[in-house]
Amino acid sequence: MGELKLMKGNEALAEAAIRAGADAYFGYPITPQSEVIEYLMAEKPYDRTGMVVLQAESEIAAINMVYGAAGAGKRVLTSSSSPGVSLKQEGISYIAGSELPCVYANVVRGGPGLGTIQPSQADYFQSTKGGGHGDYKQIVLAPASVQEMSDFVKLGFDLAFQYRIPVLILSDGVIGQMMEKVELFDQIPRLTDEEVAEKYPWATTGKKKGTERRIITSLDLDSNKMEEHNLHLQRKYKTIVENEVRYELIDCDDAEYIIVAYGSSARISQKAVQMARKKGIKVGLFRLITLFPFPAKQMQELCKKGVKGWLAVEMSAGQMVEDVMLSVKGCAKVEHFGRFGGIVHTPEEVLRALEEKIIGD
């Protein structure tokens, strides 16, 4: 068993970055995720593993430092909260276009604009439908506990390098600020420059005599080649959809109704499910772990088992609910419930929404 600690979600993510053998973190502070860079600065990872931690002059600088380091085959990450993540979108699009691996975290706060520093899940569209320009996708992992804030850093780097894709860890102010018990995984050694050069034939590690030039770019002025590149990206995304869907079903076996939620909303909804079960309502929880890829097939299977209604619970005006609708294809009623703008819904409110919007009709 690994080391047990009581940590904030943000601290667990930072500690996991060091332990995952990351080479660098570039970031810029913003509430509610500033503990990430605070923890890293205090921990002095350069002394522990040689990992570089740098506060950039802006979020835009930070993401472009990530772009450069990723191009050199390094394990690199950044983190921010909603307004800061918006600033990073150009860089993310370039990283996706250049097929580079990186991990970044968004500890979401209420928007739009500067919004509020309180928790929100209103960045779902930005996270899963683009965010930056162009036909790209990124893997989106949604931790619902401090443990997952740690575990998903390691998983994120594995997926990022396997598919050469940006991986987003999408949490919110609840998961970032709360403390829970976390079992830390053992230190993974950083790769040496030689190991990077050998392992990643695409990385720009310095041209040796007699070897081909490696070019990191998202630009090709030949549209035929660019279409080919886009087709290649789409094939990759299809493979990811086929192989990397992750979710958790709680009390769904006999469920007549299902609540779909992710992150902190999933935790709150789980309590609502417990309360509903005590009242004899047969309801289950479909917790999304990957938001892209989205578990559409698994939802269709539940439809076939006769689910009568779906309630999408998210701290937004209704974003994920669109993917639930597309997935269940009209097999049953789908409704949305969520507070937003920094207000966190309570288990009681979720239960009331289930009774009024789904069961009551």
The tokens describing 272, both together, are: 């609502």
* Cα(262)–Cα(124) distance, integer angstroms: 10
- Give the x-and-dash track for 155-194 against other proteins (CB under 8 A): ------------------xx--xxxxx-------------
Distances (CA, A) of 334 to 32, 271, 286: 32, 20, 13
Is there binding between residue 268 and other proteins (CB under 8 A)? yes
Helix (H, G, I), strand (E, B), or coil: what is residue 9? helix
Nearer to other proteins, 1 or 221 (CB): 1
Instruction: Output the smallest distance, CB 179 to other proteins, in A.
Output: 4
Strands 257-262 and 283-288, bridge-based pairing: parallel
Stretch that binds other proteins, among 82-90, 227-235, 263-271, 304-312 (CB under 8 A): 263-271
Site for other proteins in 46-105 (CB under 8 A): none
- State yes or no: residue 346 binds other proteins (CB under 8 A): yes
- Give CA angle at 251 (270, 8), nearest 5°: 35
Q: Which long-range contacts (CB under 8 A, 24 or more apart) does 236-239 make?
A: 236/163, 236/165, 237/137, 239/163
Residue number, 68 or 83, with CB nearest to other proteins: 83
From the CB of 294, what's the least distance to other proteins, in Å?
23
Residue 31 binds to other proteins (criterion: CB under 8 A): yes
139: exposed, middle or buried (Cβ count in 10 Å: 0-12, 13-18, 19+) = buried
Query: Is residue 300 close enough to count as binding other proteins by CB under 8 A?
Result: no
Q: Which of 264, 316, 319, 327 binds other proteins (CB under 8 A)?
A: 264
Residue 40 near residue 210 (C-beta atoms within 8 A): no
Interacting stretch for other proteins, rule CB under 8 A, among 21-29, 59-67, 270-278, 298-306? 270-278
Q: Rounded distance, CA 258 to CA 267, Å?
A: 14
Judged by CB under 8 A, does residue 4 bind other proteins? yes
Q: How far is the CB of 35 from other proteins (least distance, A)?
A: 10
- The Cα-based distances of 46 to 36, 39, 53 in angstroms read 15, 13, 8
CB of 298 to other proteins, least distance (A): 22
Distance from C-alpha of 173 to C-alpha of 310, rounded to nearest angstrom = 26
**Minimal distance in Å, beta carbon 178 to other proteins?**
4
Measured from the CB of residue 42, what is the shortest distance to other proteins in angstroms?
Answer: 12
Residues that bind other proteins (CB under 8 A): 4, 6, 31-32, 117-118, 173-174, 177-181, 264, 267-268, 270-274, 344, 346-348
